[in-house]
Structure 1
Amino acid sequence: MFRSFARSCNFRSFRWSEIRGFSIKRRNLMIYSASAALIGYHSSNSVLKKYNLGGRMLFNDSLIPDPRGDTYEMGLFIASQNDWEDQVVNERNLTVKNSRNRLYRYCNVLMYKIGDFMEPIMVFLRFIELSCIFVPIFCLYPISYYGKLVILNNNNNNNSNDKANSPSVETSGSMLWFKMLRYCLELAGPSFIKLGQWAGSRTDLFPAGFCHEVMKLHSNVNPHSLEYTKLKVCSALDIPQEDFDYVFQEFSDEPIGIGAIAQVHLATFSEDYFNYKQLKSSFSNRDVAIKIIHPSARTKINRDLKIMNFFANLLDSIPTIEWLSFPDEVREFSYLMNLQLDLRIECLNLNRFNDNFKDNIKVKFPIGHIELTTRDVLFEEFIDGLPIQECLNVKDYINDYNPLLFKKISDPFINAFLQMLILDDFVHADLHPGNVLVRFIKTDKYENNIISTESESSKIIDSLKNSSKNGNFTDRLVEVLEEYTPQVCFIDTGLITELNETNRVNFIDLFNALARFDGYRAGELMIERSKTPETAIDKELFAIKTEKLIAKVKKKTFTLGTVSIGELLDQMLNMVRYHHVRLEGDFVSVIVAILLLEGIGRQLDPNLDLFERFVFSFYCYV
């Protein structure tokens, strides 16, 4: 900043003799005035000075997908890993190069050598800590064989001799052991909380009782300090900490959400900062949600992944469970974890979703501010919406009053998912009710444009929240649904399901067989296109069971009120596990997403013909 100012002053043409005639008082006044002007200019613009690239503000380095990735998300993952490795090497080289003298240089090199030497020791100490947590619970495993039988779900299967399709049954002892294991996972930290949540979604690999219990996992992580949050935010914005209050008009001291890996704060940019022309062009409003990764989270998770990989290779040597291929599953889990450790990836996901749904005014994603976002800090638009769970809590009353009202919410929700899955091949992989919000807008006659303002939508949400406190929430929601158009909003896009070219072809072939009710061919395809077809047992029997399952479904009407797609998929996954059919992780992620979709769609509209919508969208888009 000062250099550019100095160049503009053209000191070569300046002659000191020209002011020699001035009095000392006048000369001092000129110097003080110039200094004050420089200080004032710097203080008002220090938080705005950035690199202007092609007329667009680019504060921080973004990611470009690596062409070696077979999907967009895999390309981002490879680019992120390469960027992290380069960053570590460059920081080390820069520190050594800028050492004050040779002694400091040797000390810095020695410090890095000691750090490299200590890392395996720290991993071993972490292993000891985890052993103290998990060894006692594994020693108690024999209790799972005792106790009364507990039926977890009943799929109304008439063939009780068919173990793959029979109701899930566990002993009370096993349910107790699963509960104790869940507590141990919570105690072990964020890596194992995420591991449990991921394992809970893999009903093709693990028993239903285990999956049911670990899905209750929640983070008990304490929030990190406000000082650390401000330090990371200032680093992301490239501003000194004393300018923090200038940049933000409001900043929540307490996080509005705390997860295993990061926490979220709500903030409002100051008007001066927001009105800076290059910044204002990419922001719709001054309210932002800021996600900050917990300190040392990356180091702890990487150590845990090394330990998991060691035990996965150890378990893989056991012949009876070799078909599970635990090393491959740990690699997949490691991939998912590392995606969440680079917030630039989530920001790019948001922007891709916004591009995919730019013509759909009934669906909204927060705008991700990639020019501000770093690996550790994410800036995204704050959406003031009503959690969809609030609507689900009063669904019975509203459906009795007017069943068509909730279709105004369910239709854009279902259509958005089908577009993600079939047209875009870019699916939000964590569609639980906590990640879905509802706003209310006014549209023109043809529902092509929004004619209401942001402030009007915010006032509606505030009125609904106030009515919830006053006890007349349901009546107020009915009024709003009758007068306004719901806008379904999706948040938390850190996890994405994407099929590569091979898996997408396999998915289309499988869905085509199911749509034609060719269950036997569907069973054959699931084995032929699995990871390891040679590990499957009783292949012919698996295809016959799939044929019988689809035949039963064909006899019924495909209405969610009478046939649960969730139960059908559960039965299919039970068969997959029983016959050792190793599905691709992407396939299972799609199935889990459909299960979550059904969970919300069934509550919003019990008469929704989901299968018909799937088939119609499939043949329209594909």
Structure 2
Amino acid sequence: MYSKPVIPLYCTLGFHHVDKNKAIRIGSEKFPATPSQIELVESQQVSNYKLVRIGQSIIRFIDQWVVEPILTLRRFAHILVLFIPVAVTVPIVFFGQKIGQEDTTGTLWWYDFLATQMERAGPTFIKLAQWIASRTDLFPLALCARLSKLHSNVDPHPFSYTKQVIEKAFGRPLDQVFTELDPVPLGVGAIAQVYKARLRPGILLNHSEEQFTLNENIMTSDSVQVLGKEGKPVVLHTAVAIKVLHPKARQIVQRDLIIMQYCAKLLTLIPTIHWLSLPDEVRVFGEMMKEQLDLRGEADNLKRFNEHFKDSYNVKFPKPLSAFSTKDMLLEEHEKGIPLDLFLKQASWAREHDVECVFDHRIADIGLNAFLHMLIFYNFVHADLHPGNIMVEFYKPSAYHPLRLAWSKLIGNELIDDGELAVNRILAVKEDPYKLQKELEVLDKEGYSPRLVFIDTGLVNELNDVNRRNFLDLFQAIAKFDGYRTGELMVERCKSPELVVHPDVFALRMQNLILGLKQNTFHLGAVKIGNLLHETMNMVRSHHVRLEGDFVNIVVSTMLLEGIGRQLNPDLDLLKNALPVLRDYSIKEGGKVALENIKYPQANGHWIKVWIFLELRNYLGRNTRDEEWLQLW
């Protein structure tokens, strides 16, 4: 959820006014207004004429109680046309050859048909499909796998609409805001599309808090040097990405949510799916959609991620321009990177040709390390971590070494981080895996290191105190290999414990699953946490253990990140990767936890206990009698 902008004092006192040039006038003084200020002030302006206010109220009433219901019914008719064939073909799931334990060829055909119709139904249903794909605790895994591959098939809205949104936000023509603006979108999503542009330096100079002033050793092709207000040269990064909501996106989503709510209430009458509590799930989905329809929320998320990772060289998030962002438009720093998919394909090619991978292990480690920091340190996790939202850049660590920097300045030969050139070299040979392999090897010899850039932060997971405590208790039970207690905790703290089918059997099944993990751990192989979580979600669904959505999203994110990491490094061990993060966290929080344990005995240092166990596991891995010692422990 975004932080609501603070209303300036002059607005609350009634002295505000926005003139025709979109400047804020206070008394006799005039100040250039940013889009966020314009939006804030205009939202509070009320006509001085009573007749106009009465007319506006009548128009709002007609729109809300006459026009909207008619348009909602028309939308409902369109949805019926799309999904009645889906309902009619349900019996086909009982036919066909058996595949696995749950599915038949008929089932898989029906899942594909459902995915196709959801894609045709528009942005809300595309987002719904992506959300269903994340709820492997509620829906069959084969269905989730198909829906997870569903991408937006929305036609781009016309550039004329984008121009209208931007000019209204800035209160001036496009050519007074940007020196360049490519009318062809970089990407088109379900609810918005993105463009690349270059801001005029003067726009940034008037708002110092939004300046992308760069370090002296990070010059890029998007950098310009201009004179600041004090006459000193200032380096600005002027390339921005502009995200603009599709026209009428809010109205369409609102109508779809009303229809979904009514349908969910009707479906709840079916006894076999009562445990899903579909109205509650639709409400949660609706809240998620509404957050994404206000682009100020994404700007706020970017700001928080930048604060958390400000000291990291190998993890980066684009910087947002909050003052230039509104509900319908987001401006953020444009990042020129290499799609992670390119490295995933190259890793597969390298294994097929028995070639040593370059950078793959480091990229996998950086990604998992970033995720673990989000989860353990900050409790603020990017909730949409698929490969399309991760890019790879390069940088030279030597350009940031304090001693080298000092010496280079002393002799007048400053170090330059030319990471952008490395990106361009890779993109130039991306179609030829042989040339790409050679170029990666050359970059490695030249001392380059990879940096991951995470984009599209509209969705985040942030566990509340209760869910975080439940998560830590569960993690502790797993770390202690107490499978039965793990199952009991999941049942006790789920949303509807009274609807769980055979809770004792569920706990026993969890015990068997954790015992399998324990045996793998004794052999000190790379424990596949994703497999464990995958099996757990299977059991959760079959026993109707309804978990909190945020908790499940964390589980799914863990599975997804480990899956991506293993494509780059088949021997990846999430527990081993967690050790450095847990060490840092334990050093940082150890004293605080100790004091809490004295004051509140029930406040346990869960992460610290997990850290101690993993350190023991890591230490015993170097000894020959590892299994015997671990069993004794």
TM-score, length basis structure 1:
0.79
Report the residue type matching 1:150 in the other structure.
I
Match of 1:507 in 2: 471
Match of 1:591 in 2: 555
Report the residue type matching 2:383 in the other structure.
A
Match of 1:388 in 2: 340
Match of 2:388 in 1: 434
Choose which of 142, 147, 156 in structure 1 pairs with 2:91. Answer: 142
In 1: Cα distance, 2:277 partner to 2:475 partner: 26
Choose which of 150, 155, 158 in structure 2 pairs with 1:225. Answer: 158
Change (3 A) 1:455 1:545: same
Match of 1:240 in 2: 172
Choose which of 211, 231, 248 in structure 1 pairs with 2:144. Answer: 211
In 2: Cα distance, 1:415 partner to 1:57 partner: 43
Match of 2:442 in 1: 479
Would you say 1:196 and 2:126 are equivalent positions? no
Match of 2:630 in 1: none
Q: Is the 8 A contact 1:344 1:374 kept in 2?
A: yes
Report the residue type matching 2:239 in the other structure.
D
In 2: Cα distance, 1:558 partner to 1:125 partner: 61
Q: 1:611: how far off?
A: 2.1
In 2: Cα distance, 1:365 partner to 1:353 partner: 7
Q: Is the 8 A contact 2:24 2:32 kept in 1?
A: no
Change (3 A) 1:139 1:381: same
Choose which of 99, 113, 116 in structure 1 pairs with 2:61. Answer: 113
Q: Is the 8 A contact 1:560 1:608 kept in 2?
A: no
Deviates more, 1:372-381 or 1:133-142: 133-142
Q: Is the 8 A contact 2:526 2:573 kept in 1?
A: no
In 1: Cα distance, 2:399 partner to 2:239 partner: 30
Report the residue type matching 1:130 in the other structure.
I
Per-residue displacement from partner, 1:531-587 (whole Å, max 9, x unpaired)?
A: 111111111111111010010111114899865322221110110011110111011
Change (3 A) 1:277 1:195: closer
In 1: Cα distance, 2:23 partner to 2:396 partner: 36
Match of 1:340 in 2: 292
In 1: Cα distance, 2:513 partner to 2:432 partner: 49
In 1: Cα distance, 2:33 partner to 2:76 partner: 42
Would you say 1:172 and 2:105 are equivalent positions? yes
Would you say 1:250 and 2:212 are equivalent positions? no
In 1: Cα distance, 2:168 partner to 2:295 partner: 15
Change (3 A) 1:450 1:607: farther
Would you say 1:548 and 2:523 are equivalent positions? no
Would you say 1:328 and 2:276 are equivalent positions? no
Choose which of 445, 452, 461 in structure 2 pairs with 1:497. Answer: 461
Q: Is the 8 A contact 2:265 2:279 kept in 1?
A: yes
Q: 1:463: how far off?
A: 1.3
Gaps of 5+ in 1: 1-41, 63-82, 152-167
Gaps of 5+ in 2: 1-18, 215-236, 406-413, 586-606, 608-633
Match of 1:59 in 2: 34
Q: How high is the sequence identity, in percent, across the aligned residues?
A: 41
In 2: Cα distance, 1:618 partner to 1:544 partner: 30
Paired residue secondary structure (2:430): helix
In 1: Cα distance, 2:321 partner to 2:159 partner: 22
Report the residue type matching 2:129 in the other structure.
G
Report the residue type matching 1:202 in the other structure.
R
The 5 Å alignment of 1:69-88 reads none
Change (3 A) 1:249 1:396: same
Would you say 1:273 and 2:241 are equivalent positions? no
Match of 2:311 in 1: 359
Aligned residues: 529
Match of 2:115 in 1: 182
Per-residue displacement from partner, 1:348-373 (whole Å, max 9, x unpaired)?
A: 10010010011111110000111111
In 2: Cα distance, 1:476 partner to 1:258 partner: 31
Report the residue type matching 1:149 in the other structure.
K
Report the residue type matching 2:151 in the other structure.
H
Per-residue displacement from partner, 1:219-278 (whole Å, max 9, x unpaired)?
A: 1111111111011112222x222xx11321110111010000000000011344344463
Q: 1:132: how far off?
A: 1.2
Q: Is the 8 A contact 1:368 1:380 kept in 2?
A: yes
Would you say 1:128 and 2:74 are equivalent positions? no
Per-residue displacement from partner, 1:29-75 (whole Å, max 9, x unpaired)?
A: xxxxxxxxxxxxx99xx699899xxxx9972448xxxxxxxxxxxxx
Paired residue secondary structure (1:218): coil
In 2: Cα distance, 1:98 partner to 1:450 partner: 68
Structure number with greater Rg is 1
In 2: Cα distance, 1:447 partner to 1:145 partner: 64
Match of 1:536 in 2: 500
Choose which of 424, 447, 457 in structure 1 pairs with 2:419. Answer: 457
Q: Is the 8 A contact 2:210 2:321 kept in 1?
A: no
Q: 1:105: how far off?
A: 5.7
Paired residue secondary structure (2:244): strand
Change (3 A) 1:229 1:565: same
Change (3 A) 1:443 1:381: same
Change (3 A) 1:369 1:112: same
Change (3 A) 1:470 1:608: closer
Change (3 A) 1:543 1:589: same
Would you say 1:416 and 2:370 are equivalent positions? yes
Per-residue displacement from partner, 1:454-477 (whole Å, max 9, x unpaired)?
A: 982222111111122466111101
In 2: Cα distance, 1:506 partner to 1:447 partner: 42
Report the residue type matching 2:381 in the other structure.
V
Q: 1:408: how far off?
A: 2.4
In 2: Cα distance, 1:150 partner to 1:565 partner: 25
In 2: Cα distance, 1:448 partner to 1:123 partner: 62
In 2: Cα distance, 1:461 partner to 1:548 partner: 48
Paired residue secondary structure (1:186): helix
In 2: Cα distance, 1:592 partner to 1:146 partner: 31
Q: 1:437: how far off?
A: 0.8
Match of 2:191 in 1: 261
Change (3 A) 1:358 1:397: same
Match of 1:9 in 2: none
Q: Is the 8 A contact 2:495 2:546 kept in 1?
A: yes
Paired residue secondary structure (2:144): helix
